[in-house]
Amino acid sequence: MSSEPTPPTVRNVRSKDSCPHCGNPVGLSGWTLLPSRDNKRVLTCKSCGRHFDLSNRCKMASMFGGMLGMMVAVAGPFGWIVRVGHGSKLYLVSAVIAVALSFGLASVGCARLTLGLEPRP
Protein backbone atom coordinates (compact mmCIF):
# COMPACT_ATOMS: atom_id res chain seq x y z
CA MET A 1 0.00 0.00 0.00
CA SER A 2 1.34 3.39 -1.01
CA SER A 3 0.81 6.41 1.22
CA GLU A 4 1.12 8.89 -1.66
CA PRO A 5 -2.00 10.98 -2.29
CA THR A 6 -3.69 10.48 -5.61
CA PRO A 7 -3.70 13.52 -7.90
CA PRO A 8 -7.04 15.29 -8.21
CA THR A 9 -9.02 14.55 -11.32
CA VAL A 10 -9.37 17.44 -13.69
CA ARG A 11 -12.89 18.12 -14.91
CA ASN A 12 -13.86 20.53 -17.59
CA VAL A 13 -16.60 22.38 -15.69
CA ARG A 14 -18.10 25.41 -17.40
CA SER A 15 -19.88 28.12 -15.51
CA LYS A 16 -22.97 29.86 -16.81
CA ASP A 17 -20.99 32.89 -17.91
CA SER A 18 -18.27 31.04 -19.77
CA CYS A 19 -17.74 31.69 -23.46
CA PRO A 20 -19.42 29.14 -25.75
CA HIS A 21 -16.26 29.20 -27.88
CA CYS A 22 -13.25 29.16 -25.52
CA GLY A 23 -14.80 28.34 -22.11
CA ASN A 24 -13.29 31.32 -20.29
CA PRO A 25 -15.44 33.91 -18.45
CA VAL A 26 -16.77 36.48 -20.93
CA GLY A 27 -16.90 39.45 -18.54
CA LEU A 28 -20.63 40.15 -18.52
CA SER A 29 -21.78 43.35 -16.89
CA GLY A 30 -25.18 43.98 -15.38
CA TRP A 31 -25.92 46.41 -18.19
CA THR A 32 -25.82 43.61 -20.80
CA LEU A 33 -28.37 41.57 -18.83
CA LEU A 34 -31.05 44.28 -19.08
CA PRO A 35 -33.70 43.81 -21.78
CA SER A 36 -32.71 45.16 -25.18
CA ARG A 37 -34.77 46.05 -28.23
CA ASP A 38 -31.82 45.23 -30.49
CA ASN A 39 -32.43 41.73 -31.92
CA LYS A 40 -29.13 41.82 -33.81
CA ARG A 41 -27.02 42.61 -30.73
CA VAL A 42 -23.69 40.80 -30.65
CA LEU A 43 -21.46 40.72 -27.57
CA THR A 44 -17.72 40.03 -27.66
CA CYS A 45 -15.78 37.70 -25.35
CA LYS A 46 -13.02 39.49 -23.47
CA SER A 47 -10.77 36.41 -23.65
CA CYS A 48 -10.95 35.18 -27.25
CA GLY A 49 -12.67 38.08 -29.03
CA ARG A 50 -15.34 35.88 -30.63
CA HIS A 51 -19.03 36.80 -30.65
CA PHE A 52 -21.90 35.51 -28.53
CA ASP A 53 -25.32 36.61 -27.31
CA LEU A 54 -27.72 35.78 -24.50
CA SER A 55 -30.10 32.88 -25.05
CA ASN A 56 -33.73 33.64 -25.81
CA ARG A 57 -34.75 32.08 -22.50
CA CYS A 58 -32.47 34.50 -20.67
CA LYS A 59 -33.81 37.49 -22.62
CA MET A 60 -37.42 36.55 -21.88
CA ALA A 61 -36.70 35.96 -18.18
CA SER A 62 -35.03 39.36 -18.02
CA MET A 63 -38.09 41.08 -19.49
CA PHE A 64 -40.53 39.12 -17.32
CA GLY A 65 -38.50 39.77 -14.17
CA GLY A 66 -38.34 43.49 -14.93
CA MET A 67 -42.10 43.73 -15.43
CA LEU A 68 -42.72 41.75 -12.25
CA GLY A 69 -40.35 43.97 -10.27
CA MET A 70 -41.98 47.09 -11.66
CA MET A 71 -45.45 45.78 -10.80
CA VAL A 72 -44.42 45.06 -7.20
CA ALA A 73 -42.78 48.49 -6.85
CA VAL A 74 -45.83 50.34 -8.21
CA ALA A 75 -48.18 48.39 -5.95
CA GLY A 76 -46.11 48.99 -2.81
CA PRO A 77 -43.34 51.58 -2.41
CA PHE A 78 -44.51 53.96 -5.15
CA GLY A 79 -47.82 54.77 -3.46
CA TRP A 80 -46.24 54.87 -0.03
CA ILE A 81 -43.50 57.32 -1.09
CA VAL A 82 -46.00 59.63 -2.83
CA ARG A 83 -48.33 59.52 0.19
CA VAL A 84 -45.52 60.35 2.61
CA GLY A 85 -44.46 63.32 0.47
CA HIS A 86 -48.08 64.52 0.03
CA GLY A 87 -47.69 64.39 -3.76
CA SER A 88 -44.77 66.82 -3.98
CA LYS A 89 -42.62 66.65 -7.10
CA LEU A 90 -39.49 65.60 -5.22
CA TYR A 91 -41.23 62.58 -3.72
CA LEU A 92 -42.88 61.73 -7.04
CA VAL A 93 -39.48 61.73 -8.76
CA SER A 94 -37.98 59.60 -6.00
CA ALA A 95 -40.88 57.14 -6.33
CA VAL A 96 -40.28 56.86 -10.09
CA ILE A 97 -36.57 56.24 -9.41
CA ALA A 98 -37.53 53.49 -6.94
CA VAL A 99 -39.69 51.83 -9.61
CA ALA A 100 -36.88 52.06 -12.19
CA LEU A 101 -34.38 50.53 -9.74
CA SER A 102 -36.83 47.77 -8.93
CA PHE A 103 -37.24 47.02 -12.65
CA GLY A 104 -33.48 46.90 -13.15
CA LEU A 105 -32.68 44.74 -10.14
CA ALA A 106 -35.44 42.22 -10.84
CA SER A 107 -34.53 42.12 -14.52
CA VAL A 108 -30.82 41.49 -13.93
CA GLY A 109 -31.60 38.98 -11.17
CA CYS A 110 -33.89 36.88 -13.36
CA ALA A 111 -31.46 37.08 -16.28
CA ARG A 112 -28.61 35.92 -14.04
CA LEU A 113 -30.68 32.96 -12.79
CA THR A 114 -31.48 31.77 -16.31
CA LEU A 115 -28.19 32.82 -17.91
CA GLY A 116 -27.27 31.03 -21.09
CA LEU A 117 -24.87 32.12 -23.83
CA GLU A 118 -25.13 31.21 -27.50
CA PRO A 119 -22.35 31.48 -30.09
CA ARG A 120 -22.80 34.02 -32.88
CA PRO A 121 -20.91 34.10 -36.17
pLDDT by position in tens, the chain (length 121) = 556 655 544 345 567 888 888 888 888 888 999 998 887 888 898 888 899 999 999 999 999 999 999 999 999 888 888 889 888 899 999 999 999 999 999 999 999 999 999 998 8
Indicate the DSSP class of residue 78. I
Q: Domain tally for the chain?
A: 1
Measured CA to CA, the distance from residue 70 to residue 106 in angstroms comes to 8
Classify residue 54: in a domain, yes or no: yes
Residue 34 DSSP SS3:
coil
Strand order in the sheet with 43-44: 43-44, 51-54, 117-119
Classify residue 25: in a domain, yes or no: no
Classify residue 29: in a domain, yes or no: no
Classify residue 55: in a domain, yes or no: yes
Helices 89-113 and 56-73 cross at an angle (nearest 10°) of: 150
What domain range includes position 114? 43-119
